């Protein structure tokens, strides 16, 4: 409560000091960012989840409710968030833009609507083009993530449980691929517990997935993973719930056919969002060379005790190869913390990062579903 009061007071003070007609943003209380960068809160969207930035700098925010919000001109003088679209199929957490189409991932379906950069209202009502969680049962892992790569639509659907087999229906614990109109939906990855963080490497067109592992294994396992799904031929098998990490088996199961991830994070970190930074950014706020071509991943933290802290991390890459190979004895070697301070020493949290996206001008945007923050990160002048 004290943190919320301090944040509200800071917002009020900055608003009073701002020039007329300019919406000022209070610096986030307690958050830290890598040296050489500045972070600011530009908007508030309650229960913000995934985000997508349009070519003109507008930002779209999926949520844990039935609403997708628009933050107009997020890379300039960001406007207060307003409702862009609503679907009676919550949560509408997933959002991505591909050319003149916007795709929204909801609990029981993927929806398409026509979109052109600069649209501040939908041109038509969202149209359902895919059905997921076809059992109709709303249980566990109810968000749906969407991404487009190489003229294919990818949809991730989490499992209905921690470690069950079989699941409620054939779409659960999978990543599906389909034509851009939603037809021909088929499994691309299976036995993948909850692949929320889908990201396309713009340099290679490869789809990566960040995945939250199961509980009830030996403490500290399984490591969370981040892997290039479409770099693997045919259907990819990640082994859940019987196989994890480097062909480790639960009981006596055969894990020889399990796909082993290229990047790992410590157990319980919970990857929620991911994005790749362009290799050749041209915007006014382009990041330094060391960040180009790498991946930013939002880690939501855990409910475990003591709670694992949320953070935004950076993974240096060479194309689709991490610069540092997996160390199966240490899941902290492949990444560096980029944004921290979400959790204090007592385990109390002021924010939990969810979505992450790169704007046309090079800015990095991060959303938060704890306090509703939409943050913008840029190199210091």
Question: How sure is the predictor about 303, in pLDDT bands with cuts at 50, 70 and 90?
Answer: confident
pTM of the entire predicted model: 0.92
**Who contacts 346 (Cβ-Cβ below 8 Å, separation ≥6)?**
none
Q: Is the pLDDT of residue 9 over 70?
A: no
Question: How sure is the predictor about 27, in pLDDT bands with cuts at 50, 70 and 90?
Answer: low
Q: Is the pLDDT of residue 360 over 70?
A: yes
What are the strands of the beta sheet with 101-105, ordered from one edge?
94-98, 101-105, 109-114, 127-131
The region of weakest confidence among 19-33, 109-123, 321-335 is 19-33
Place of tokens 């109709």: 136
For the four alpha carbons of 200, 206, 209 and 210, in that order, the dihedral sign comes to: negative
Q: Is the pLDDT of residue 329 over 70?
A: yes
What H or E segment, with its residue span, contains residue 198? strand 197-200
Q: Is the pLDDT of residue 345 over 50?
A: yes
Indicate the average pLDDT of the chain.
92
- The string of pLDDT tens digits covering residues 69-107 is 999 999 999 999 999 999 999 999 999 999 999 999 999
- The string of pLDDT tens digits covering residues 209-251 is 999 999 989 999 999 999 999 999 999 999 999 999 999 999 9
Paired strand residues for 156: 145, 175
The region of weakest confidence among 26-30, 179-183, 249-253, 289-293 is 26-30
Q: Is the pLDDT of residue 126 over 70?
A: yes
- The string of pLDDT tens digits covering residues 180-215 is 999 999 999 999 999 999 999 999 999 999 999 999
On the 0-12 / 13-18 / 19+ scale of CB atoms within 10 A, 303 is exposed
- The string of pLDDT tens digits covering residues 142-172 is 999 999 999 999 999 999 999 998 899 999 9
Q: Give me the pLDDT at residue 370, please.
A: 95
**What is the phi/psi pair of residue 93, to 5°?**
-90, -30
Q: Give me the pLDDT at residue 28, please.
A: 64
């Amino acid at each position: 409560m004290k943190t919320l009061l301090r944040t509200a007071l800071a917002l009020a003070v900055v608003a009073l000091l701002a020039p007329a007609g300019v919406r000022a943003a209070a610096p986030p209380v307690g958050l830290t960012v890598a040296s050489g960068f500045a972070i600011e809160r530009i908007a508030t969207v309650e229960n913000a989840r995934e985000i997508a930035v349009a070519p003109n700098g507008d930002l779209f925010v999926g949520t844990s409710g039935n609403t997708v919000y628009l933050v107009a001109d997020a890379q300039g003088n960001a406007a207060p968030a307003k409702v862009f679209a609503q679907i009676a199929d919550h949560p509408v957490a997933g959002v991505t833009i591909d050319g003149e189409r916007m795709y929204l991932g909801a609990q029981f379906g993927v929806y398409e609507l026509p979109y052109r950069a600069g649209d501040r209202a939908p041109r038509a009502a969202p149209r359902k083009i895919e059905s997921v969680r076809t059992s109709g049962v709303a249980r566990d892992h109810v968000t749906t993530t969407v991404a487009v790569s190489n003229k294919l639509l990818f949809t991730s659907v989490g499992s209905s449980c921690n470690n069950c087999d079989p699941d409620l229906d054939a779409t659960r614990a999978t990543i599906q691929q389909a034509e851009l109109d939603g037809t021909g939906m088929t499994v691309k990855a299976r036995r993948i517990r909850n692949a929320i963080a889908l990201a396309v490497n713009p340099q290679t067109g490869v789809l990566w997935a960040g995945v939250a592992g199961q509980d009830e294994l030996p403490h500290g396992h399984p490591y969370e993973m981040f892997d290039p799904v479409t770099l693997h031929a045919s259907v990819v098998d990640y082994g859940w719930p019987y196989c994890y990490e480097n062909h480790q088996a639960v009981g006596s199961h055969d894990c020889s056919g399990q796909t082993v991830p290229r990047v790992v994070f410590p157990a319980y970190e919970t990857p929620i969002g991911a994005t790749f930074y362009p290799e050749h950014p041209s915007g006014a706020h382009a990041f330094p060379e060391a960040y180009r071509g790498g991946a930013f991943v939002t880690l939501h933290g855990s409910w475990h005790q003591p709670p694992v802290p949320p953070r935004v991390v950076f993974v240096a890459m060479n194309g689709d190869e991490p610069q540092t190979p997996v160390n199966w004895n240490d899941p902290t070697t492949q990444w560096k913390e980029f944004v921290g301070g979400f959790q204090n020493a007592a385990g109390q949290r002021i924010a939990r990062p969810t979505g992450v996206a790169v704007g046309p001008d090079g800015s990095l945007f991060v959303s938060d579903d704890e306090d509703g923050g939409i943050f913008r990160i840029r190199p210091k002048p």
